[in-house]
Structure 1
Amino acid sequence: MSGAPASRLVAATRAGLPGWCDRFLDQPGAGEFFASRAWYDTLLAHALPEGAEPVLALCGPEEAAVLPLMRQAGRLSALVSPYTLDWRPLPAPHAEAAALRQAGQSLGRLLRWQAPLRLNTLDPDAPGVAPLLEGLAAARLRPLRFVHTGNWHEVLPPGTGWEAWLAARPSVLRSTITRKLARAGRETDFELVAAPGASLEAGIKDYERVRAASWKPDEPFPDFDGALMRVAAGLGLLRLGVLRARADGAPLAAQYWIVDRGGRRATVLKLAHVQADRAASPGTVLSAQMIRRLIEEDGVSELDFGRGDDAYKQAWVAVRRQRIGVVLADPLHPAGAMALLRQALGRLRRRLASPVAKA
């Protein structure tokens, strides 16, 4: 990579990220799964939007960071999909803030005179985000922040077991779990799959069967979940749970989790239950059984309910953090100027609509 310009855009393919990206990527089990090759290669192969071309922004004279992007209809945006829970720049190992600010400034110069670059599902506290945005702003690009989605999670106090976790839940959920688990013990069977093989393939089919009978809309990329489960199982990170009716073995609920950060965090990727059986609360039963297993056997210390502010999540985990989006706009580009104008008009409307303004 020697002799490379300060920043440049490098094409990638649906076959996966180039090998040189490995030094920027996390190990999927020990680090951040959603910043790993396992995640990105699965996304590229199974959930890249139609017409999108993957692009990597290699930033700075010292190659201090890579930004996984995609180009659609001539515009650049973060390389994300409907399944993305967390997108972030990928700093080089040991890259310091000064180098990342310089990298952002270099990238900003590269992106001048171009249509706005949209980043979303961004953790504002992720390593490298703040200095990169500072550098981009110094290069004339205006980072326009917007609220994107919430992320509900909870870090468990040291030594927390199942009973302590359950005791800390709201009384309504605690009572429901206690009652429904007692009934489920008589009428259902719980199966957990964590390794590749015939059981995993059967579990994936059960998940798809439950998903099809649930309240959820059709999947935009129907092959993605199965592909990700196979990859995660091969790495020892998958926890796929299926709840079955004891009478006939029919699946009533299914969900899968990824365990990363050295076994400390468990993140639920997808969950569903058969809508016709909702009176028995199979989804609640399965979530409780999965969490008990994750706490007691895997020893996780953080539960993460992923992307979105669904009302049920705050009963299961207690803390919300904000995922943001950023539009990087060049005020000298027509589309950038329009983005800045829209932001200014939005602020004006909110100010005029506020009680203080009306008073």
Structure 2
Amino acid sequence: MVERARDGIGGNGHLGSGTRDLIAVSYHDSVAELQGLIGPAAGLGPFARAEWFARLETREAAPLYACARHGEAVAILPLAQRGEVLHAMRNWYAFTWAPLGAADPELLTALAADLRRRSHQVVLDQLSEPVATSIRAAFADAGWRCEQQICDTNHYLRVEGRSFDAYLGGLAGQLRSTLRRKSGALTTEIVEHFTDDRWADYSVIYAESWKPVEGDIALLRDFARDEAAEGRLRLGFARHGDDLVAAQLWTLEDGVAYIHKLAHRRGADRYSPGTVLTVALMRHVIDLDQVTEVDFGTGDDAYKRIWMERSRPRYRLDCLDARQAAAWPALARRFARNLARCGPRS
């Protein structure tokens, strides 16, 4: 851990007077060092919890938690040093990235100012619009040159008090016709507990599915196990007779159902197992769990538009410190790209 008190921050990176004089900035290589400072992250989902970052940090060569404290308020940026650049600590399982603790602008600005001691560049991706807006403002106030771009799309559903049948009635007629023809060939099961046997079933389907090979199936297993312990796991299976043909991993949190992973066995397409199982899980989370939202994660895949009614962008924020020579080549490339987009003047 490294800790220092900040003298304050203004638009030019220098602190003014007031409460910001008392902000303490510290750096840690494990979230365990911050236990007791981090409260529950209500409304931000499974990827803005200390437990999630505790899993990720063991897979990073140089994890870095930048922490700013003032009184009871705490803001933490979970980062990873990769080469000379600081990145958001995340992997491809995570739908979003967000700071831990308070989104206090003065704390975030204190962190942004102090991070110039650590790197000339900070890259954060998979940010929601509110998170991107607050962090960009903090880094800009601390003197960084920030570029914000859309990096991904999140498809989601607002249930708005509907029953599952009401929701289903609004889906495309072709999908409803497929369900009428295929549902009778399959049986579905949804479990909320975790066992080694259940996970083995899921793993077999994923290994034999149309999906690419997982990057870290052990991490996903630990995540599913811990979510089950908190009552948040919804693991779905579809069978044709005795043969398992599809499996899906969902979780629930704060009224939101998160669709993490879908898989079905190659060669079972004629039964539409993914469609049938998705319907069973949608019915379960809407009618039984009574969620208010369903989140289909990242990726602008066409099949997600079949189920979800809305979409929203996810952002990448690239922050460069022009006061450091190491940032100049990247700033020059950014300037050239922006100039090319503008085109020649008439």
TM-score between the two structures when normalised by the length of structure 2: 0.86
> Residue 79 and residue 168 in structure 1: after superposition, are their counterparts in 2 closer, same or farther (change >3 A)?
same
Distance (Å, rounded) in 2 between the aligned partners of 1:34 and 1:143: 24
> Residue 43 and residue 244 in structure 1: after superposition, are their counterparts in 2 closer, same or farther (change >3 A)?
farther
The question of 1:317 aligning with 2:308 is answered yes
> Residue 44 and residue 104 in structure 1: after superposition, are their counterparts in 2 closer, same or farther (change >3 A)?
closer
SS at match of 1:276: coil
Give percent identity, aligned residues only. Answer: 29
AA paired with 1:5? A
AA paired with 1:107? L
Q: Which of 257, 261, 278 is 1:270 aligned to?
A: 261
Q: Does 324-333 or 18-27 show the bigger shift? A: 18-27
The question of 1:211 aligning with 2:206 is answered yes
After superposition, give the CA deviation of every residue in 1:266-302 in whole Å (9 maximum; x if it has no partner): 0111111112111211111111111111111111121
Partner residue, 1:220 = 215
8 Å contact from structure 1 (residues 33, 260) kept in 2 = yes
SS at match of 1:35: coil
For residue 156 of structure 1, report the CA deviation from its aligned partner: 1.0
SS at match of 1:112: helix
AA paired with 2:267? A
Q: Does 234-243 or 82-91 show the bigger shift? A: 82-91
Partner residue, 2:112 = 108
8 Å contact from structure 1 (residues 244, 252) kept in 2 = yes
8 Å contact from structure 2 (residues 25, 110) kept in 1 = no
Distance (Å, rounded) in 2 between the aligned partners of 1:335 and 1:314: 42
Partner residue, 1:12 = 29
Partner residue, 1:259 = 252
> Residue 120 and residue 191 in structure 1: after superposition, are their counterparts in 2 closer, same or farther (change >3 A)?
same
8 Å contact from structure 2 (residues 47, 95) kept in 1 = yes
Partner residue, 1:44 = 57
Distance (Å, rounded) in 2 between the aligned partners of 1:275 and 1:39: 31
SS at match of 2:246: strand
Partner residue, 1:35 = 48
After TM superposition, list the pairs within 5 Å mapping 1:164-183 onto structure 2: 164-181=166-183, 183=184
8 Å contact from structure 1 (residues 85, 306) kept in 2 = yes
Partner residue, 1:59 = 68
For residue 132 of structure 1, report the CA deviation from its aligned partner: 3.7
Distance (Å, rounded) in 1 between the aligned partners of 2:39 and 2:298: 22
For residue 5 of structure 1, report the CA deviation from its aligned partner: 1.7
For residue 112 of structure 1, report the CA deviation from its aligned partner: 2.4
After superposition, give the CA deviation of every residue in 1:89-136 in whole Å (9 maximum; x if it has no partner): 2233xx6xxxx332233223212262211101111224xx53442232
Partner residue, 2:188 = 190
Distance (Å, rounded) in 2 between the aligned partners of 1:245 and 1:27: 40
For residue 348 of structure 1, report the CA deviation from its aligned partner: 2.3
8 Å contact from structure 1 (residues 203, 242) kept in 2 = no
Distance (Å, rounded) in 1 between the aligned partners of 2:289 and 2:44: 16
Structure 2 unaligned regions, length at least 5: 7-23
- How many residue pairs get aligned? The number is 326
Distance (Å, rounded) in 2 between the aligned partners of 1:334 and 1:70: 22
TM-score between the two structures when normalised by the length of structure 1: 0.83
Partner residue, 1:336 = 327
Partner residue, 2:133 = 130
For residue 217 of structure 1, report the CA deviation from its aligned partner: 1.8
SS at match of 1:296: helix
SS at match of 2:214: coil
Distance (Å, rounded) in 2 between the aligned partners of 1:73 and 1:239: 38
SS at match of 1:148: strand
The question of 1:26 aligning with 2:26 is answered no
Distance (Å, rounded) in 2 between the aligned partners of 1:287 and 1:164: 16
Structure 1 unaligned regions, length at least 5: none
AA paired with 1:210? I
After TM superposition, list the pairs within 5 Å mapping 1:154-169 onto structure 2: 154-158=157-161, 160-169=162-171
For residue 330 of structure 1, report the CA deviation from its aligned partner: 0.5
What is the root-mean-square deviation of aligned Cα atoms in Å? 2.4
AA paired with 1:324? Y
SS at match of 1:313: helix
Distance (Å, rounded) in 1 between the aligned partners of 2:115 and 2:27: 14
For residue 201 of structure 1, report the CA deviation from its aligned partner: 1.8
Distance (Å, rounded) in 2 between the aligned partners of 1:260 and 1:119: 24
Distance (Å, rounded) in 1 between the aligned partners of 2:283 and 2:143: 51
Distance (Å, rounded) in 2 between the aligned partners of 1:78 and 1:25: 20
SS at match of 2:47: helix
Partner residue, 1:117 = 122
